[in-house]
């Protein structure tokens, strides 16, 4: 909780200060509610959600004095209601081992770091992990994944830069099976600017995996960088089309005032949000909890 509130300080302070300034010594009326709606929109919560929250806050309270603290808790409750249905843990269970997790996301979104953090969490749970370096486009991505494998004791499967990503995925699954690993995490390229190429590549990865295990991949998780704000919405749309995303991880919620974007994404897409990143460290990946998050961003 402490890490979460610390991480979300910037989002919280922008919302919290805005609400305090607005409702100190002012009655709740159409004007203040409109201003509240603006504050929520500026905090990236999305136009429709912001309108709905302002309406809920106003209900039965017109022309009354209202304490900023009460507004904050009303706003938090509304945000919690939006987030509750989508707060879903990532559960690594399958009928047949390994659980295959395909990680997708644009370059720089925190995909590799999230894979590393997940590998650490799984190791701490006593699970055996194989990482497949499927972002063969960037030599640095392969190297970075190797560093995480060393750090977490995971086994890494890679080929030379430029190799076929589906081949790496194939090797990864074969290795995971041979070793009796619990989880295989496949990194992928994040070149959304070459959408057709990326789609073909990801489709091939999935095809090759399915040939060996029709139930796999068991999850396709998209990493989203919170600092890009509204752009995250178009990334969700693009990757849903390109890769059949089953869930989300939002990274870099620390150091941004744009944490509200998670609420807009929840309202628009209804996709499960599994985890959030609140720092670069190995322990900075947290389960996503609707109530805690809602309270943390309102401050
Ligand atoms: P990829 O290109 O998607 O694999 O992205 P990386 O995993 O390489 O991450 C890009 C940068 O973002 C790196 O410098 C990471 O340390 C940093 N990063 C990733 N997740 C977080 C996070 O939750 N918070 C912060 N502050 N930085 C993060």
Q: H/E/C letters for each residue in the chain? A: CHHHHHHCHHHHHHHHHHHHHHHCCCECCHHHHHHHHHHHHHCCCCHHHHHHHHHHHHCCCCCCECCHHHHHHHHHHHHHHHHHHHECCCCCCCCCCCEEEEEECCCCCCHHHHHHHHHHHHHHCCCCEEEECCCCCCHHHHHHHHHHHHHHCCEEECCCCCCCHHHHHHHHHHHHHHHCCCEEEECCCCCHHHHHHHHHHHHHHHHHHHHHCCCCCCEEEEEEEHHHCCHHHHHHHHHHHHHCCCEEEEECCCCCCCCCHHHHHHHHHCCCEEEEECCCCCCCEEECCHHHHHHHHHC
| Residue 91: predicted pLDDT | 96
**From CA 86, how far away is CA 108, in angstroms rounded?**
24
CA 251 to ligand 1: nearest atom: 23
How far does residue 110's CA lie from ligand 1's centre (Å)?
4
How far does residue 27's CA lie from ligand 1's centre (Å)?
44
> Closest Cα to residue 181, out of 55, 97, 71?
97
pTM flag (> 0.90):
yes
| Residue 12: predicted pLDDT | 86
Of 12-26, 35-49, 244-258, the range with the lowest mean pLDDT is: 12-26
**From CA 23, how far away is CA 35, in angstroms rounded?**
10
Mean local confidence (pLDDT), 277-283:
92
In this predicted structure, the answer to whether residue 246 has a pLDDT above a threshold of 80 is yes
| Residue 13: predicted pLDDT | 84
Q: Which residues contact 56 (CB under 8 A, 6 or more apart)?
A: 74, 78
How far does residue 172's CA lie from ligand 1's centre (Å)?
23
Mean local confidence (pLDDT), 184-188:
98
Residue numbers belonging to the annotated binding site for GTP = 105-112, 187-191, 251-254
CA 141 to ligand 1: nearest atom: 4
Q: Is 220 left (phi over 0), alpha (psi -120 to 50) or beta?
A: beta
In this predicted structure, the answer to whether residue 284 has a pLDDT above a threshold of 80 is yes
Summarize pLDDT for 56-109 with one digit per residue, the tens. 999 999 988 899 999 999 999 999 999 999 999 999 999 899 999 999 999 999
In this predicted structure, the answer to whether residue 38 has a pLDDT above a threshold of 90 is yes
| Residue 97: predicted pLDDT | 94
| Residue 112: predicted pLDDT | 96
Q: Encode burial over 87-108: b for 16+ CB neighbours within 10 A, e otherwise.
A: bbebebeeeebbbbbbbbbbbe
176 vs 27: which has the higher pLDDT: 176
How far does residue 44's CA lie from ligand 1's centre (Å)?
21
Contact 226, 252 (CB under 8 A): yes
| Residue 185: predicted pLDDT | 98
The pLDDT-based confidence of 7 (bands split at 50, 70, 90) is confident
CA 144 to ligand 1: nearest atom: 8
- Ligand 1 binding site (Cβ under 6 Å of any ligand atom): 105, 107-113, 144, 190, 251-252, 254-255, 277-280, 284
Residue 116, preceding peptide bond in cis (omega within 30° of 0): no
| Residue 83: predicted pLDDT | 97
How far does residue 105's CA lie from ligand 1's centre (Å)?
12
Residue numbers belonging to the annotated binding site = 105-112, 187-191, 251-254
CA 255 to ligand 1: nearest atom: 26
| Residue 8: predicted pLDDT | 87
Bridge partners, 100 (sequence order): 184
Q: Choose one of 110, 223, 225 to mutate for the ligand 1 pocket test, by most ligand atoms within 8 angstroms of C-beta.
A: 110
299 vs 109: which has the higher pLDDT: 109
């Amino acid at each position: 909780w402490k890490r979460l509130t610390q991480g979300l300080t910037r989002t919280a302070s922008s919302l919290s200060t805005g609400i305090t300034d607005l409702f100190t010594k002012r009655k709740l009326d159409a004007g203040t509610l409109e201003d509240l709606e603006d504050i929520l929109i500026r905090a990236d919560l999305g136009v429709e959600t912001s309108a709905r929250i302002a309406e809920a806050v106003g209900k039965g309270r017109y022309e009354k004095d209202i304490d900023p603290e009460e507004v904050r808790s009303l706003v938090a409750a509304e945000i919690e209601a939006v987030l509750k249905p989508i707060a879903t843990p990532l559960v690594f269970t399958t009928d047949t081992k390994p659980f295959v997790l395909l990680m997708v996301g644009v370059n720089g979104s925190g995909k590799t770091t999230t894979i590393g953090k997940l590998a650490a969490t799984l190791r701490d749970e006593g699970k055996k992990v194989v990482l497949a370096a499927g972002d063969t486009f960037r030599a640095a991505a392969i190297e970075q994944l190797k560093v995480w494998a060393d750090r977490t004791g995971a086994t890494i499967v890679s080929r030379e830069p430029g190799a076929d990503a589906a081949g790496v995925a194939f090797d990864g699954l074969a290795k995971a099976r041979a070793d009796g690993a619990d989880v295989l995490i496949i990194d992928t390229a994040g070149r959304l600017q070459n959408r057709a190429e990326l789609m073909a590549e990801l489709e091939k990865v999935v095809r090759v995996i399915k040939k060996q295990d029709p139930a796999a991949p068991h999850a396709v998780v998209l990493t989203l960088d919170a600092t890009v704000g509204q752009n995250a919405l178009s990334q969700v749309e693009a990757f849903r089309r390109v890769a059949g995303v089953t869930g989300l991880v939002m990274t870099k919620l620390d150091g941004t005032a744009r944490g509200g974007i998670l609420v807009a994404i929840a309202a628009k897409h209804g996709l499960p949000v599994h985890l959030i990143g609140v720092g670069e460290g190995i322990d900075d990946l947290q389960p996503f909890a609707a109530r805690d998050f809602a309270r943390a961003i309102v401050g």
